[in-house]
Protein backbone atom coordinates (compact mmCIF):
# COMPACT_ATOMS: atom_id res chain seq x y z
CA UNK A 1 0.00 0.00 0.00
CA UNK A 2 1.23 3.50 -0.72
CA UNK A 3 0.50 6.47 1.47
CA UNK A 4 0.89 9.75 -0.37
CA UNK A 5 1.32 12.51 2.20
CA UNK A 6 0.99 15.59 0.01
CA UNK A 7 3.53 18.26 0.86
CA UNK A 8 2.21 20.94 -1.51
CA UNK A 9 2.48 24.33 0.27
CA UNK A 10 -1.18 25.19 -0.30
CA UNK A 11 -2.26 21.88 1.23
CA UNK A 12 0.02 22.33 4.23
CA UNK A 13 -1.03 25.96 4.77
CA UNK A 14 -4.73 25.19 4.60
CA UNK A 15 -4.41 22.13 6.85
CA UNK A 16 -2.57 24.29 9.39
CA UNK A 17 -5.49 26.73 9.40
CA UNK A 18 -7.90 23.86 10.03
CA UNK A 19 -6.05 22.91 13.23
CA UNK A 20 -6.71 26.29 14.88
CA UNK A 21 -8.71 26.04 18.13
CA UNK A 22 -12.15 27.63 17.91
CA UNK A 23 -12.24 27.67 14.09
CA UNK A 24 -15.70 28.59 12.75
CA UNK A 25 -17.90 26.08 10.98
CA UNK A 26 -17.74 28.30 7.88
CA UNK A 27 -13.94 28.35 7.77
CA UNK A 28 -13.55 24.66 8.59
CA UNK A 29 -16.04 23.67 5.91
CA UNK A 30 -14.45 25.90 3.28
CA UNK A 31 -10.95 24.63 4.05
CA UNK A 32 -12.10 20.99 4.07
CA UNK A 33 -13.43 21.49 0.55
CA UNK A 34 -10.30 23.27 -0.63
CA UNK A 35 -7.89 20.67 0.74
CA UNK A 36 -10.10 17.90 -0.66
CA UNK A 37 -9.89 19.51 -4.07
CA UNK A 38 -6.10 19.73 -3.98
CA UNK A 39 -5.79 16.11 -2.80
CA UNK A 40 -8.13 15.05 -5.60
CA UNK A 41 -5.78 16.65 -8.13
CA UNK A 42 -2.95 14.51 -6.73
CA UNK A 43 -5.03 11.32 -6.48
CA UNK A 44 -6.19 11.50 -10.10
CA UNK A 45 -2.78 11.91 -11.72
CA UNK A 46 -2.88 8.39 -13.16
CA UNK A 47 -6.43 8.33 -14.54
CA UNK A 48 -6.37 6.72 -17.96
CA UNK A 49 -6.99 8.76 -21.08
CA UNK A 50 -8.13 7.75 -24.55
CA UNK A 51 -8.06 9.60 -27.83
CA UNK A 52 -11.34 10.83 -29.31
CA UNK A 53 -12.10 12.51 -32.61
CA UNK A 54 -14.27 15.60 -32.31
CA UNK A 55 -15.12 18.55 -34.56
CA UNK A 56 -12.80 21.44 -33.69
CA UNK A 57 -13.60 25.14 -33.63
CA UNK A 58 -12.27 25.66 -37.18
CA UNK A 59 -14.55 23.05 -38.69
CA UNK A 60 -11.71 20.54 -39.06
CA UNK A 61 -11.88 17.27 -37.09
CA UNK A 62 -9.34 17.10 -34.25
CA UNK A 63 -8.17 14.40 -31.86
CA UNK A 64 -8.34 15.14 -28.13
CA UNK A 65 -7.76 13.30 -24.86
CA UNK A 66 -10.77 12.20 -22.83
CA UNK A 67 -11.00 10.21 -19.61
CA UNK A 68 -11.29 6.51 -20.41
CA UNK A 69 -13.84 4.06 -19.10
CA UNK A 70 -16.87 4.27 -16.83
CA UNK A 71 -17.32 7.35 -14.71
CA UNK A 72 -15.58 7.39 -11.35
CA UNK A 73 -17.71 6.97 -8.23
CA UNK A 74 -16.98 9.15 -5.21
CA UNK A 75 -17.86 7.50 -1.90
CA UNK A 76 -18.29 9.97 0.97
CA UNK A 77 -18.55 8.35 4.41
CA UNK A 78 -21.36 10.16 6.25
CA UNK A 79 -21.45 12.57 7.76
CA UNK A 80 -18.05 14.19 7.65
CA UNK A 81 -17.16 12.91 4.17
CA UNK A 82 -19.88 15.17 2.76
CA UNK A 83 -17.72 18.12 3.74
CA UNK A 84 -15.21 17.06 1.09
CA UNK A 85 -17.66 16.13 -1.66
CA UNK A 86 -18.05 19.49 -3.36
CA UNK A 87 -14.29 19.97 -3.55
CA UNK A 88 -13.93 16.60 -5.23
CA UNK A 89 -16.81 17.01 -7.67
CA UNK A 90 -15.49 20.47 -8.62
CA UNK A 91 -12.65 18.57 -10.31
CA UNK A 92 -14.62 15.49 -11.41
CA UNK A 93 -18.05 16.96 -12.15
CA UNK A 94 -19.37 13.90 -13.97
CA UNK A 95 -18.53 11.54 -11.10
CA UNK A 96 -21.27 9.31 -9.71
CA UNK A 97 -21.77 9.43 -5.96
CA UNK A 98 -22.18 6.36 -3.74
CA UNK A 99 -22.96 7.08 -0.09
CA UNK A 100 -22.00 5.09 3.01
CA UNK A 101 -23.50 6.02 6.38
CA UNK A 102 -21.40 4.95 9.35
CA UNK A 103 -20.80 6.40 12.75
CA UNK A 104 -18.19 5.37 15.23
CA UNK A 105 -19.57 4.12 18.55
CA UNK A 106 -17.89 6.39 21.07
CA UNK A 107 -17.35 3.63 23.64
CA UNK A 108 -16.26 0.71 21.48
CA UNK A 109 -14.84 2.80 18.58
CA UNK A 110 -16.48 0.27 16.26
CA UNK A 111 -18.23 1.51 13.10
CA UNK A 112 -22.02 1.27 13.14
CA UNK A 113 -23.54 1.18 9.64
CA UNK A 114 -26.89 2.96 9.13
CA UNK A 115 -27.17 3.65 5.39
CA UNK A 116 -25.67 2.80 2.05
CA UNK A 117 -26.55 3.51 -1.56
CA UNK A 118 -24.12 2.51 -4.30
CA UNK A 119 -24.16 3.31 -7.99
CA UNK A 120 -24.23 0.40 -10.44
CA UNK A 121 -21.39 -1.31 -12.31
CA UNK A 122 -18.94 -0.98 -9.42
CA UNK A 123 -16.84 -3.72 -10.98
CA UNK A 124 -16.10 -1.37 -13.89
CA UNK A 125 -15.54 1.88 -12.02
CA UNK A 126 -12.79 3.40 -9.97
CA UNK A 127 -14.04 4.37 -6.50
CA UNK A 128 -12.59 7.24 -4.48
CA UNK A 129 -13.55 7.00 -0.81
CA UNK A 130 -13.51 10.33 1.02
CA UNK A 131 -13.54 11.01 4.76
CA UNK A 132 -11.66 13.74 6.63
CA UNK A 133 -10.37 11.39 9.33
CA UNK A 134 -8.68 7.98 9.24
CA UNK A 135 -8.38 7.25 12.96
CA UNK A 136 -8.57 3.58 14.04
CA UNK A 137 -9.39 2.69 10.43
CA UNK A 138 -12.56 0.82 11.40
CA UNK A 139 -14.91 3.04 9.38
CA UNK A 140 -12.65 2.93 6.34
CA UNK A 141 -12.23 -0.86 6.40
CA UNK A 142 -16.01 -1.31 6.74
CA UNK A 143 -16.52 0.91 3.68
CA UNK A 144 -13.81 -0.82 1.66
CA UNK A 145 -15.40 -4.17 2.54
CA UNK A 146 -18.76 -2.97 1.18
CA UNK A 147 -17.13 -1.88 -2.07
CA UNK A 148 -15.17 -5.11 -2.41
CA UNK A 149 -18.31 -7.21 -1.76
CA UNK A 150 -19.93 -5.38 -4.68
CA UNK A 151 -17.08 -6.21 -7.04
CA UNK A 152 -15.19 -2.93 -6.93
CA UNK A 153 -11.53 -3.62 -7.67
CA UNK A 154 -9.99 -0.21 -8.21
CA UNK A 155 -10.25 1.93 -5.08
CA UNK A 156 -8.40 5.00 -3.82
CA UNK A 157 -8.82 6.79 -0.52
CA UNK A 158 -8.57 10.51 0.22
CA UNK A 159 -8.46 11.62 3.86
CA UNK A 160 -7.45 14.98 5.24
CA UNK A 161 -5.60 13.51 8.22
CA UNK A 162 -4.52 9.93 8.91
CA UNK A 163 -3.28 8.28 12.10
CA UNK A 164 -0.50 5.67 11.84
CA UNK A 165 -2.81 3.20 13.62
CA UNK A 166 -5.51 3.64 10.96
CA UNK A 167 -3.03 3.28 8.11
CA UNK A 168 -1.74 0.04 9.62
CA UNK A 169 -5.28 -1.29 10.09
CA UNK A 170 -6.26 -0.56 6.48
CA UNK A 171 -2.95 -1.91 5.20
CA UNK A 172 -3.61 -5.29 6.85
CA UNK A 173 -6.73 -5.94 4.77
CA UNK A 174 -5.94 -3.81 1.70
CA UNK A 175 -2.22 -4.04 1.02
CA UNK A 176 -2.52 -2.59 -2.50
CA UNK A 177 -4.63 0.44 -1.62
CA UNK A 178 -3.41 3.97 -2.29
CA UNK A 179 -4.16 6.59 0.34
CA UNK A 180 -3.83 10.32 -0.30
CA UNK A 181 -3.66 12.57 2.74
CA UNK A 182 -2.55 16.03 3.79
CA UNK A 183 -0.89 14.61 6.90
CA UNK A 184 0.06 11.46 8.73
CA UNK A 185 -0.28 12.67 12.30
CA UNK A 186 1.41 11.41 15.42
CA UNK A 187 -1.02 9.01 17.11
CA UNK A 188 -4.47 8.38 18.55
CA UNK A 189 -5.32 9.59 22.05
CA UNK A 190 -7.07 7.44 24.69
CA UNK A 191 -10.47 8.31 23.19
CA UNK A 192 -9.46 7.36 19.66
CA UNK A 193 -9.02 10.95 18.48
CA UNK A 194 -6.13 11.84 16.20
CA UNK A 195 -3.35 13.93 17.78
CA UNK A 196 -2.72 16.68 16.84
CA UNK A 197 -5.62 16.04 14.43
CA UNK A 198 -8.58 18.28 13.76
CA UNK A 199 -10.93 17.34 16.60
CA UNK A 200 -14.37 16.03 15.65
CA UNK A 201 -14.51 16.76 11.93
CA UNK A 202 -18.20 15.88 11.55
CA UNK A 203 -19.22 18.25 14.35
CA UNK A 204 -17.09 21.03 12.92
CA UNK A 205 -18.46 20.63 9.39
CA UNK A 206 -22.09 20.39 10.49
CA UNK A 207 -21.92 22.83 13.40
CA UNK A 208 -23.13 20.24 15.91
CA UNK A 209 -20.34 20.54 18.44
O1 LIG B 1 -11.11 5.53 11.76
P2 LIG B 1 -12.23 5.49 12.74
O3 LIG B 1 -11.77 5.19 14.14
O4 LIG B 1 -13.37 4.62 12.31
O5 LIG B 1 -12.78 6.97 12.87
C6 LIG B 1 -12.99 7.80 11.76
C7 LIG B 1 -14.43 8.09 11.57
O8 LIG B 1 -14.92 8.93 12.64
C9 LIG B 1 -15.52 10.11 12.08
O10 LIG B 1 -16.87 9.93 11.84
P11 LIG B 1 -17.94 9.89 13.04
O12 LIG B 1 -18.11 8.51 13.52
O13 LIG B 1 -17.61 10.91 14.05
O14 LIG B 1 -19.28 10.26 12.30
P15 LIG B 1 -19.76 11.66 11.71
O16 LIG B 1 -19.04 11.85 10.44
O17 LIG B 1 -21.21 11.49 11.53
O18 LIG B 1 -19.44 12.73 12.72
C19 LIG B 1 -14.75 10.28 10.79
O20 LIG B 1 -15.39 11.15 9.89
C21 LIG B 1 -14.60 8.88 10.29
O22 LIG B 1 -15.71 8.41 9.57
O1 LIG C 1 -9.80 12.54 15.47
C2 LIG C 1 -10.87 12.09 15.07
C3 LIG C 1 -11.17 10.72 15.10
C4 LIG C 1 -12.38 10.30 14.65
N5 LIG C 1 -13.27 11.20 14.18
C6 LIG C 1 -13.00 12.53 14.14
O7 LIG C 1 -13.85 13.32 13.70
N8 LIG C 1 -11.81 12.94 14.61
MG1 LIG D 1 -18.11 12.76 14.20
The complex scores an ipTM of 0.98
pTM of the model as a whole: 0.97
- Give the C-alpha distances (Å, rounded to integers) separating 18 from 23, 78, 156: 7, 20, 23
Q: Residue 111: how many CA atoms within 13 Å on its side-chain side?
A: 22
Q: Does the C-beta of 103 come closer than 6 Å to ligand 1?
A: yes
Distance between CA 136 and CA 133 in Å, rounded?
A: 9
Distance between CA 35 and CA 159 in Å, rounded?
A: 10
Q: Does the C-beta of 202 come closer than 6 Å to ligand 2?
A: yes
121-150 pLDDT, tens digit per residue, is: 999 999 999 999 999 999 999 999 999 999
Taking each continuous run of H as one helix and of E as one strand, the counts in the chain are 6, 12
User: Does residue 1 have a pLDDT over 70?
Assistant: no
* Residue 18 CA to its chain's centroid (Å): 17
- Considering every ligand atom, which ligand is closest to the CA of 103? 1
Q: Does the C-beta of 104 come closer than 6 Å to ligand 1?
A: yes
- Considering every ligand atom, which ligand is closest to the CA of 81? 1
Q: Domain spans of the chain?
A: 2-49+67-206
- Give the CATH fold of the 2-49+67-206 domain: Rossmann fold (3.40.50)
What's the rounded mean pLDDT across residues 147-166? 98
35-88 pLDDT, tens digit per residue, is: 999 999 999 999 999 999 999 999 999 999 999 999 999 999 999 999 999 999
Of ligand 2's listed atoms, the one at least distance from the Cα of 192 is 3
Q: Does the C-beta of 135 come closer than 6 Å to ligand 1?
A: yes
Amino acid sequence: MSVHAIQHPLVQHKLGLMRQAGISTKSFRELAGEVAKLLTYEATQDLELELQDIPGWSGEPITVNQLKGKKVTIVPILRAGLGMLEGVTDLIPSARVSVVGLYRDEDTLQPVPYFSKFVGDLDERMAIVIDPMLATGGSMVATLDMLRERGCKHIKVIVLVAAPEGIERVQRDYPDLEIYTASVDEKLDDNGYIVPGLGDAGDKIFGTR
